[in-house]
Structure 1
Amino acid sequence: PGQVDFYARFSPSPLSMKQFLDFGSVNACEKTSFMFLRRELPVRLANIMKEISLLPDNLLRTPSVQLVQSWYIQSLQELLDFKDKSAEDAKTIYEFTDTVIRIRNRHNDVIPTMAQGVTEYKESFGVDPVTSQNVQYFLDRFYMSRISIRMLLNQHSLLFGGKGSPSYRKHIGSINPNCDVVEVIKDGYENARRLCDLYYVNSPELELEELNAVSPGQTIQVVYVPSHLYHMVFELFKNAMRAT
């Protein structure tokens, strides 16, 4: 608790896509990443852990939320082990990257587990409109925090973990400098359509028009994390198809 209070006093460092891109493509240095993340990750973890601790007691007592809390506590403790270690020690740097990958894998199911906790809470105690609004406000902040922490973990893991797949060779960590927007949209549509066909035996067609105002006739490409864009369009298509 003392360490959580200490690190929660600091604000996370704002990072732009350009900063991620510049670091990953020009001067990617594992030592620099280590020195930044061993401070930044505890700050981000502690901030959201502090918010979790302010949830209603009955929600905190659900098995799923307790499990999520245990993951965050364990991850924070593992990161703090590196607080006073030398950045000049190659073994320390290697172990840190290993720890980052382990934390990333541990947090794979954070979102469904937290959602399960909220479901357990509502089923056991019901929920009034004010509490429901407060919990939803927390969840929005929790998911945003999770995305930013995941981004940092992914960038370090993919840049320095040494196990990038061939499809990621043109990527900088998880960022694609030339993300084809239409391709991602089509991919999201096809998967949403398959689900729609499975449940409703029918699905609406996609009418897609691509207009590149900067370079007419060219495909629209942006610097983005393809998986983030995919999840957004997939959810939009899925909800739109269900409404249709």
Structure 2
Amino acid sequence: MGTGWELTSALKSKIFQYAAHNQTPVSLRQMVQFGPSPSPGSIFLASKFIVEELPIRLAKKVKDLEYAPQGLNESPSTIKVKNWYAQSFQELTELPKPKIDEKLASMLFKNGVHRYEADESGELHHSTNYEDNPAINNVFSDDGMVLRQTHQHGYGHGHSHSHSHSHIQSSPAIPAKENSPTFGMTYFNPCPMNIIWPREVYAYNKLVCDALTKIKLRHDATVATMAQGVQEWKERNKAGSIINSQIQTFLDRFYMSRIGIRMLIGQHIALNMSQSSPTKQRINSFLNGTQGNNQTSNSRLNYVGVICTDCNVAEIAEDAIQTASYICEEYYGLFEAPEIQLVAPHHAINFMYVPGHLIHMLFETLKNSLRATIEFHTPLLKQKMIEENPGMKYDDIDLNDLKFPPIKVIISEGSQDITIKISDEGGGIARREVPLIWTYLYTTVHETPKLEPEFNQTSFKAPMAGFGYGLPISRLYAQYFGGDLKLISMEGYGTDVYLHLNRLSSSSEPLP
């Protein structure tokens, strides 16, 4: 992949220029405003936004990897990941810009003042007239929850005029975000539904969607390749299982911003597909992690891209239970995995969320519980059988004859959070080791699975265990939309994992 490609110094300096810009956060609420079948005009404007916003985020990733701490930036796998981001940056910044003539502008901005102005060639650019832009003139972001940083006159500095006068002189009358290409732009803009859009709108939407699809595929193996990079670093530095805190902080930031990039790309591809046919929508829901069979029963109308506006928590938990049980049976050669009991209220709990994220978090947690249950109880149960049947040999006892204690998945609903508790009797974790489970590459498996040189996640079977990435990354997924993942353990008995999901859906992206 990309063998003939190289990061030239000209491209690197362009990337570093972009990395200095501020990112523009996109809230969940903005992402769902498109509705189940978005207007091609809205997608056209969103495509313009994405083509400006994503290069800023990709550039920040390249810069972060270039300066990764403790020599992590020298690992061959880290360099490989950095080059993937640089290549994606190059492809997006080299896409031809769409031409917006006056006729198209009047269609795009039928219901409001448009913020585009023409240059000499007649091409329309994003206007820098901020007077009428509520996204900037309001100190709150679009969902009324997140305070914006602003450096306007009289705001934030008013109380200390005397000694910050020079600072005010040099700062512009508008927020510092001015220099960012996406400053003042929003991902969603309402556009008329019932008009016939010109061909170039569809052509540009397709061009951007195809570019994003290619980029998404390129970065599929990022998590595992980065894991490999950390593994290389550990071997070079003879580091034990405990990972340096600077690297830990770096990886947390790295993966959190990756979730944001993937979310934007996945959402945009899904919206593009849903502007066409329902069949495409179904394929797209499958590609984005909602593999469940329950999609046929409840209509696709409650999906906006990858976000489900009416996400049924129990149904998704059922999906995750089936998948984790199947992987466990394959791995241990069992006819039936230990029982997983779902305890949910009688009424359905529905809220707005990304099913792909929720399935991922539940699957990873359940996989841990299944493995702990089997590995903790196998010797105990075999011993018990030998005591009851003295003629038996330890090695002759089949795993399928053992009766493991069940794992419980309990769903509860509060006014602000939906909490899912996963309780196992897998022997728990020693208290001093609990902090380690949140560090990357901490695993109780002695042999970390090696990646093939041509590793590609699409053909990659999820291992039962081994990378030590399940919990830390699941926690980032939970925190991405304002939730959390906590773990309480009783050594010698078992572990409870609490997954808190924010039901207010008002959180904006946690941009570093």
**TM-score w.r.t. length of structure 2:** 0.43
- Partner of 1:240 in structure 2? 369
Q: Secondary structure at the match of 1:196?
A: helix
Deviates more, 1:7-16 or 1:165-174: 165-174
Q: Secondary structure at the match of 1:15?
A: coil
- Partner of 2:235 in structure 1? 123
- Partner of 1:6 in structure 2? 17
Which AA in structure 2 matches 1:194? Answer: Y
Aligned partners of 1:66, 1:27: CA distance in 2, in Å?
A: 38
**1:123-145, CA deviations, whole angstroms, 9 ceiling, x for partnerless residues?**
23323799622112111111111
User: What's the CA shift for 1:83?
Assistant: 7.4
Deviates more, 1:1-10 or 1:233-242: 1-10
Do residues 189 (structure 1) and 314 (structure 2) align?
A: no
**1:44-69, CA deviations, whole angstroms, 9 ceiling, x for partnerless residues?**
11222221111147432322212111
- Partner of 1:114 in structure 2? 226
Aligned partners of 1:151, 1:199: CA distance in 2, in Å?
A: 34
Aligned pairs for 1:164-203 (under 5 A) are 164-165=281-282, 168=285, 169-170=300-301, 171-197=303-329, 198-199=331-332, 201=334, 203=337
- List alignment gaps of at least 5 residues for structure 1: 212-216
User: What's the CA shift for 1:235?
Assistant: 1.0
Q: Secondary structure at the match of 2:342?
A: coil
- Partner of 1:31 in structure 2? 44
Query: Contact 1:35/1:87 (CA < 8 Å) preserved in 2?
Result: no
Which AA in structure 2 matches 1:207? Answer: Q
Deviates more, 1:156-165 or 1:177-186: 156-165
Aligned partners of 1:127, 1:172: CA distance in 2, in Å?
A: 45
Q: Secondary structure at the match of 2:309?
A: strand
Greater share of residues in helix:
1
Aligned partners of 2:221, 2:284: CA distance in 1, in Å?
A: 24
**1:72-111, CA deviations, whole angstroms, 9 ceiling, x for partnerless residues?**
0010011111375435654444322211111111111111
- Partner of 1:208 in structure 2? 342
Match of 2:91 among 58, 72, 78: 78
- List alignment gaps of at least 5 residues for structure 2: 1-11, 102-199, 286-299, 373-425, 427-512
Deviates more, 1:48-57 or 1:88-97: 88-97
Query: Contact 2:317/2:362 (CA < 8 Å) preserved in 1?
Result: yes
Aligned pairs for 1:34-45 (under 5 A) are 34-45=47-58
Change (3 A) 1:40 1:83: farther
User: What's the CA shift for 1:16?
Assistant: 1.9
In percent, how many aligned pairs have the same letter?
36
Which AA in structure 2 matches 1:177? Answer: T
Aligned partners of 1:35, 1:167: CA distance in 2, in Å?
A: 22
Change (3 A) 1:204 1:210: same
Which AA in structure 2 matches 1:241? Answer: L
Query: Contact 2:61/2:85 (CA < 8 Å) preserved in 1?
Result: no
- Partner of 1:218 in structure 2? 347
Aligned partners of 2:219, 2:63: CA distance in 1, in Å?
A: 17
Tell me the number of residue pairs that the alignment of Structure 1 and Structure 2 aligns: 239
The structure number with the bigger radius of gyration is 2
Query: Contact 1:86/1:92 (CA < 8 Å) preserved in 2?
Result: no
- Partner of 2:357 in structure 1? 228
User: What's the CA shift for 1:22?
Assistant: 0.7
Which AA in structure 1 matches 2:312? Answer: D
- Partner of 2:244 in structure 1? 132
Which AA in structure 1 matches 2:82? Answer: Q
Change (3 A) 1:30 1:40: same
Change (3 A) 1:49 1:24: farther
Query: Contact 2:311/2:353 (CA < 8 Å) preserved in 1?
Result: yes
- Partner of 2:211 in structure 1? 99
Change (3 A) 1:36 1:23: same
Aligned partners of 1:61, 1:127: CA distance in 2, in Å?
A: 16
Change (3 A) 1:226 1:239: same
Which AA in structure 1 matches 2:362? Answer: V
Deviates more, 1:108-117 or 1:168-177: 168-177
Q: Secondary structure at the match of 1:51?
A: helix
